[in-house]
Amino acid sequence: MLTPFDLTLRALPASLPHDLGRWHGVDRTHDPAVDRWFRDPEVAIERTYHRPDGEVVWLSAFGNRGARSFHLFEHTPDTCYPLGGWNIDHLGLARVPLGGAIPLTVNHGIASGVEGQLVFVYFYVWDTPARDAARGVLSVRIAAPVRDNAAATLSMLGRDFLAQIFPSTLGWSRF
């Protein structure tokens, strides 16, 4: 993933702008459960982005380094959303087009609850290409309520929201 923003733990949250293209973000009140589940993360961003046409995206990013970073992999949306009353309807990997030639592979899910359906994606950004937990890792979680259908919401997240953060990607194979 290529980004014009410094997404390292030392630079966040200041380096992730509140304005991303047509999106304007407002920080949400910090949830004290984040400190408990992630063992007082070094970085905690909880932000809601709005687009003028009414689309809403919730971005959360939590970062740690060293042994505490492993809690980022234990508490993911597919385990935490059910604790918040959501049912997981779908869970898997998705290749999300960002407008460039190479799609971004993300963990993807659809959840439903009394408030309707939401689409969520999550992925990890390492501070260095070496993927050294001692140097830092960021867990990025993005969710949006489904307005028309889940496929359209996932497409909107890729082409219009994620593309503002990651305008292009590099070729890479998971394994």
**Residue 95 in domain:** yes
**Residue 129 in domain:** no
**Residue 175 in domain:** no
**Residue 52 in domain:** yes
**Residue 4 in domain:** no
**Residue 5 in domain:** no
Quote the pLDDT of residue 17: 97
Average pLDDT, the chain: 89
Sheet holding 23-27, edge to edge: 19-20, 23-27, 43-50, 56-64, 137-145, 116-126, 104-113, 87-96
The SS3 assignment for 117 reads: strand
Q: Which pTM was predicted?
A: 0.91
**Residue 59 in domain:** yes
Instruction: Evaluate if residue 64 carries a pLDDT over 90.
Output: yes
Scan for tokens 């992999």, then name that residue: 73
Per residue in 4-55, pLDDT (tens digit) is 899 999 999 999 999 999 999 999 998 888 777 777 898 999 999 999 999 9
Query: pLDDT band for position 137 (50/70/90)?
Result: very high
**Residue 10 in domain:** no
Scan for tokens 């959501």, then name that residue: 86
Number of structural domains (the chain) is 1
Rounded Cα gap, residues 117 and 152, in angstroms? 13
Quote the pLDDT of residue 97: 83
Q: Label residue 87 exposed, middle or buried (CB < 10 Å: 0-12, 13-18, 19+).
A: exposed
DSSP 46-70: EEEEE-TTS-EEEEEEEEE-GGGGG
Containing structural domain, residue 109: 19-113+135-165
Rounded Cα gap, residues 63 and 11, in angstroms? 11
